Amino acid sequence: MFSHAIERFKQRNHYPGFAPRAVLFDMDGVLFDSMRGHATAWVKAMREMDLPFTELDAYMNEGQTGHATINNVFLKKYGRDATEEEKQRVYQLKSDYFDDCGTPAPMPYAFELLQKLKARGLQRVVVTGSGQPSLLNRLEHSFPGMFTKDKMVTAFDVQYGKPHPEPYLMGLKKTGLQPWEVVAVDNAPLGVESASAARLFTIGLNTGPLPPQVLVDAGANIILGGMKELYDRWDEIVEVKV
């Protein structure tokens, strides 16, 4: 089933092959079941600032930096950019509301998949638009031994952020591999767009309320329903001979 998608990907990008040796993971909605908390927190924070924003908006804006999301809302409502102070104020509110949701649970089967990849010698990299300072600790707590600081791209590292290809290109660079040797896994339209623009094989993991077509339109090479399906079907992806 995946062979056509892989063949199309290879031909479109003029790659000599497809042989995954690293997986670049988005964090929220992929490694952690955290998107409901983020969506709720965004809606509360925006409402407090009298800014129009729905939970669905949170899913559609997911992946870019928080400041970019806030700026888009200011452009829509006031026809101007948000000031630094406004961006910081809304983002702080949002972060506080998110903290109220408690620690997000790891996505079911995320750890099992990471262990499988590690056992087979594949690198694991995190590519997230999140700017939480304690991110590595949280990853280490939930997925011990699976990630290292030098294999992470966060909001602090990037200039543009998703949907620009920059974060996934930085992630690729950290692997030291060729683009046909890595796979990107992202659940958000803007994240999929970023990975696809970086010319990486992109798995759209549809873990939220958006119709799967949104991820197809964003450029996903294949769409899966969640981490369990990726875990179960990983061998089908790597065993395709191209």
Please give the backbone phi and psi of residue 70, each rounded to the nearest 5 degrees, phi first: -65, -45
Which of 20, 29, 106, 171 forms a contact with Mg ion (CB under 5 A)?
A: 29
Q: Which residue is nearest to Mg ion (CB)?
A: 29
Query: Measured from the CB atom, is 6 or 195 closer to Mg ion?
Result: 195
If one asks whether residue 26 binds Mg ion (CB under 5 A), the answer comes out as: yes
Query: Measured from the CB atom, is 26 or 181 closer to Mg ion?
Result: 26
If one asks whether residue 135 binds Mg ion (CB under 5 A), the answer comes out as: no
Query: Measured from the CB atom, is 26 or 193 closer to Mg ion?
Result: 26
Binding footprint of Mg ion, residue count (CB under 5 A):
5
Please give the backbone phi and psi of residue 199, each rounded to the nearest 5 degrees, phi first: 65, 40
Which of 135, 169, 188, 224 forms a contact with Mg ion (CB under 5 A)?
A: 188
Query: Measured from the CB atom, is 18 or 53 closer to Mg ion?
Result: 53
Residues in the site for Mg ion, rule: CB under 5 A?
A: 26, 28-29, 187-188
